[in-house]
Amino acid sequence: MEKDKRKKEIADKPVFECSKGIAIQGYEGSFHQVAARNIYGKSVEVIPCATFRDLIRIASDKNASSGAIMAIENSIAGSILPNYNLLQKSKLKVVAEVYLSISQNLLVNPGVKLEDIKEVHSHPMAILQCLEYLEQYNWKLVETEDTALSAKMVHQHRSKHAAAIASKLAAELFDLDVLAPSIQTMKNNFTRFLVLQREKEAIEIPAANKSSIYFQTNHSKGILAKVLTVIADAGINLSKLQSMPIPGSNFKYGFYADLEFEQRAQLDQVMGAIESLTNSVKVFGIYQSGKIVKG
């Protein structure tokens, strides 16, 4: 019985190759790196990329990386729409996902106190997320391109009057103190990250219960409703449906969908049934539903 249990645990655990590092968007200490550590472990080597386009390019190169971690949506800001297009044009596959609880923290050099601070540096979105806390003080708010880079700059300049808003990982990497933890206004803030691998190396695990797909219809009357009915009739949960304009068309749309199923046969049934209702279908990946982890 114990032996069978161990076999099941091994079968349920995704196995990812990580010999050449994982591409992330942003700098070391970013939330992308936090997500990468949750998937690959703390010793994972990350390859910082300035843009998501660079991330896709490096992840697609077998000589440059073992894949990538890419943010795709946030519980407050919504979907990162350009990333869907980047994913569609690539030959990368989704092999896993993770939901990271985003915690913004006020970081300072050791010994710096609240009364010493004159300015706070961070990405505009991070500043916006923490305005309720920041407006308690008469600090100058300095917008930068990245939260982790802000933390690095505060560290490098050894400033006694500047603070940064960033992750606890950034504090760890740049020897900063967390003067005030979790200062974001909305505490339930999650970002969903996709784990991407090249198509030839992606392996579908036995515990897979979710799939991300893209489809286009012929836009005849009621056709989308028919597709959604097929999905529902198969007992599949449509956990996400995102419309995107089809480039070059006159306000016609394609649809990105996340499908959650109990049996692999359910997905096969749906994919076969919607073939006649769609002009094209692409499967981005078949993988196991991700869990929420702390940032």
Check whether 8 has a pLDDT greater than 70: no
Instruction: Name the token pair of 69.
Output: 């971690």
pLDDT of 157-210, one tens digit each?
999 999 999 999 999 999 999 999 999 999 889 999 999 999 999 988 999 999
Q: What is the pLDDT of residue 12?
A: 44
Determine whether 174 is an active site residue.
Answer: no
| Candidates 144, 147, 191, 217; catalytic one | 191
Give percent above pLDDT 90 in the chain: 84
| Candidates 16, 31, 174, 193; catalytic one | 193
Task: Give residue 273's pLDDT band: very low, low, confident or very high (50, 70, 90).
Answer: very high
The answer to whether residue 128 sits within a structural domain is yes
The answer to whether residue 95 sits within a structural domain is yes
Same domain (yes/no): 65, 114: no
Same domain (yes/no): 86, 143: no
Same domain (yes/no): 51, 118: no
The answer to whether residue 263 sits within a structural domain is yes
Determine whether 229 is an active site residue.
Answer: no
Same domain (yes/no): 131, 165: yes
The answer to whether residue 2 sits within a structural domain is no
Task: Give residue 17's pLDDT band: very low, low, confident or very high (50, 70, 90).
Answer: low
Average pLDDT over residues 215-237: 93
Check whether 15 has a pLDDT greater than 70: no
Average pLDDT over residues 94-110: 97
Instruction: Domain of residue 262: give its range.
Output: 210-287
Q: What is the pLDDT of residue 9?
A: 44
pLDDT of 56-89, one tens digit each?
999 999 999 999 999 999 998 889 999 999 999 9
Same domain (yes/no): 196, 50: yes
The answer to whether residue 20 sits within a structural domain is yes
Top pLDDT among 251 and 159 is at: 159
Query: Which of 10-24, 71-85, 143-157, 260-274 has the weakest average pLDDT?
Result: 10-24
Contact status, residue 146 vs residue 31, Cβ threshold 8 Å: no
Chain-wide mean pLDDT for the chain?
92
Q: What is the pLDDT of residue 218?
A: 86
The full DSSP string for 178-245 is EEES---S-S--EEEEEEEEETTT----TT--EEEEEEEE---TTHHHHHHHHHHHTT-EEEEEEEEE
Within a 10 A sphere around the Cβ of 78, how many other Cβ atoms?
Answer: 9
The answer to whether residue 117 sits within a structural domain is yes
Q: Count up the domains in the chain and report the number.
A: 3
CA atoms within 13 A on the CB side of 163: 28
Same domain (yes/no): 168, 25: no
* 241 DSSP β-pair partners: 257
